[in-house]
Structure 1
Amino acid sequence: MKEIKINFVDFWPDFDKTDNYFYNLLVQEYKVIIDDDPEFLFYSCYNSEYLKYKCTRIFYTAENIRPDFSACDFAFSFDYNKRKNHFRLPLYSLFIDNYKMLAHLQTIKTRAEAKRIWSAKSKFCCMVVSNGDSSERLNFFKNLSAIKRVDSGGGVLNNVGGKVADKLEFIKDYKFVISFENSRHDGYTTEKIVQPFFKDCIPVYWGNKLVHKDFNGKRFIDHHNFNTEEELINKLIEIDQNDELAINMLMEPTFSLDKVNHQEEQKQVLKILCKIINNNEKPIARQLWRYIHRHKFIYRNTKKRVLAKFKKTYNCIIPYMRADFKV
């Protein structure tokens, strides 16, 4: 097997360099070595260490931000676009892979099984949230709580005696799970809608208006399908009081019929990675774009210092930065 040197930087705190979506795909075709001087760098959006690397750079985002194609050779994100150096890979795909939950999500239950599962649900609705910035999510929690008890097991609006240790274990007893994204953008779908599916709950979803392209709209309650929040809450209460409606929802397939299945998606990603590895073109990091991007980045965060230090040396770049950032 061909040997390749890779590294991962700027990912979330508990990211494992030798047990993650990209590493586990690459080891199928290559002898993969984690090296501080890599040939291929995977980076995300939580820091700026990637700027130190002059190799081929591959960007991945789990957050609602756009890739900067002046900084990377290829980007994986949740966006729908037709760029040749981009592939749509939302966070929920990595979540499904990491938690080995695909087989369960693909199982279509018998009616008897669905009835048994729903009958075992002893609680109404819950939420587990650590980000308190989403007013849509917090308002919905408060408005629904005014009708019927809703438990909050996260750090926000906690009413169960403290943060729960295991979200998946916590939500399994609930019929409904508030599954609002932190923010809204077409294509931006995280693990929040998948977790309730895995525990046979019904997600109450807000976020990606195009979520039906990935998931079967008959398997969850979509905020966007209702004219008012009152209509949504009434629908949720109706399902709560009618077991047959709930059982029908549990028996629905999880994914949209138009969505590429998870295994095929993995094959597509691996094919892209192999193409990147076999590509002999000079990386972005060694081209003029690297200098433009790097100094745009520095300039955005330390404008006055950069102007004083680099104006003379990079006189050709400063006008570009001024126009871009309207200094």
Structure 2
Amino acid sequence: MRDIKIDFIDFWPNLDKTNNYFYNILSEFYNVIIDSEKPDLIFYSCYGYDYLKYKCKRIFFTGENRRPDFMACDFAFSFDFNNRKDHYRLPLYLLYLDEANMNNKITEIKSRRELSEAWNNKKKLCCMVVSNPNAKERINFFHNLSSYIDVDSGGKVLNNVGGPVADKIKFIQDYKFVISFENESHDGYTTEKILEPIFVDSIPIYWGNRLVNKDFNPKRFLNYQDFETEEELIARLLEIDKNSEIAIDILSQEVFSQEVDSPSKIRKNVLEIIIKVIENNKKPKSQSYHELIHRIHFGFNRKLKMAKKKISYLFKSS
């Protein structure tokens, strides 16, 4: 194996640079070295602008509802559906599936007896675990559903179980249904939220990606957008709770849609794409234009904030 120097820039704070989807994939083909000084390639995300400092090849990935800037990257992985040659669809749930070692268990075929036992062992009805207080659809549904049944909230938002839980997966496995709303709705934007309840043989109540059926089998979860009213959705939830045979039918379904490639095939495609970017002799894209726009944008915002403070001060003084 030959050496390849890489780094991860502008990702979420707890990213493990030597144990993540991209690092692990590249390690199958290269001797991967983390080098923050002179990398051959950087992977960067949407949580900052430090990537502007690097002149090497750049690959963008987003787990948030953000668009790639194709002027600043040599290739982009995101959840969008498009036919660009410099883009490949890689929703966040696939990274989560791989890094949490869910690949085998999520596709494991269980007998009805096993699923019935798992379902009947769940002594609690419904929960959610979230930390973002700004997703109004999720908050509103929690309140509406709570007027019919008790809903436990184990996250930072609307917590009613004595404080945030330490282990989300361990917490939700005791519940039959899990509120699995995305933070935002955008076509193709599918995160790990729908996957976690499936992993523990629970039923997700999903809202978000209108095209989620392209990723997941619609018979394996309750899709908020399939119901005309919340009352109809809640009535269906209560019906399933009272009839375990319906629940087992849902739990028995294939997890993924037949339209989507298997996680292993996608992983193989991603490796081939990254190798192609690395081995391509083309010079990395110029950042000068993007950096200029970035500086103008932040300079304008700074002046706008100062103007607002001055106006506020004048009104208070008058």
Structure 2 length normalisation: TM-score? 0.93
Q: Secondary structure at the match of 1:302?
A: helix
Matched, 1:12 2:12: yes
Alignment of 1:25-44 (within 5 A): 25-36=25-36, 37-44=38-45
Deviation at 1:108, TM superposition (A): 2.0
Deviation at 1:276, TM superposition (A): 0.5
User: 1:319 aligns to what?
Assistant: none
Deviation at 1:31, TM superposition (A): 1.2
Structure 1's 234 and 59: CA in aligned 2 closer, same or farther, altered over 3 A? same
Cα distance per residue 1:248-278 (max 9 Å; x no partner): 0011111112211111110000000110111
Q: Secondary structure at the match of 1:80?
A: coil
How far apart are the structure 1 equivalents of 2:100 and 2:84? 30
How far apart are the structure 1 equivalents of 2:185 and 2:298? 26
Structure 1's 304 and 216: CA in aligned 2 closer, same or farther, altered over 3 A? closer
Cα distance per residue 1:173-193 (max 9 Å; x no partner): 000000000000000000000
User: 2:232 aligns to what?
Assistant: 231
User: 1:310 aligns to what?
Assistant: none
Q: Which residues of structure 1 form unaligned runs of 5+?
A: 307-327
Q: Which residues of structure 2 form unaligned runs of 5+?
A: 304-318
Cα distance per residue 1:258-305 (max 9 Å; x no partner): 211111110000000110111000111xx3xx1110011111111288
User: 2:202 aligns to what?
Assistant: 201
Q: Secondary structure at the match of 2:193?
A: coil
Deviation at 1:107, TM superposition (A): 1.3
Identity %: 57
Which of 265, 290, 295 is equivalent to 1:293?
A: 290
Cα distance per residue 1:193-247 (max 9 Å; x no partner): 0000111100000000110111010000001101111111111111111111001
User: 1:262 aligns to what?
Assistant: 263
Deviation at 1:111, TM superposition (A): 1.1
Structure 2: which amino acid aligns with 1:299? Answer: I
Q: Residues 109 and 250 of structure 1 are in contact (CA less than 8 Å); yes or no, is this contact kept in structure 2?
A: no
Matched, 1:143 2:144: yes
Matched, 1:248 2:249: yes
User: 1:160 aligns to what?
Assistant: 161
User: 1:216 aligns to what?
Assistant: 217
How many residues are paired up? Answer: 302
Runs of 4+ deviating beyond 3 Å: none
User: 1:185 aligns to what?
Assistant: 186
Q: Secondary structure at the match of 2:192?
A: coil
Structure 2: which amino acid aligns with 1:6? Answer: I
Deviation at 1:2, TM superposition (A): 1.8
How far apart are the structure 2 equivalents of 1:62 and 1:185? 12
How far apart are the structure 1 equivalents of 2:78 and 2:210? 17
**Worse overlay, 297-306 or 229-238:** 297-306
Alignment of 1:167-182 (within 5 A): 167-182=168-183
Q: Residues 79 and 187 of structure 1 are in contact (CA less than 8 Å); yes or no, is this contact kept in structure 2?
A: yes
User: 2:51 aligns to what?
Assistant: 50
Structure 2: which amino acid aligns with 1:4? Answer: I
Cα distance per residue 1:129-158 (max 9 Å; x no partner): 100101110110001000000000001010
Superposition CA RMSD, Å: 1.1
How far apart are the structure 2 equivalents of 1:196 and 1:304? 41
Q: Secondary structure at the match of 2:138?
A: helix
Structure 1 length normalisation: TM-score? 0.91
How far apart are the structure 1 equivalents of 2:13 and 2:301? 31
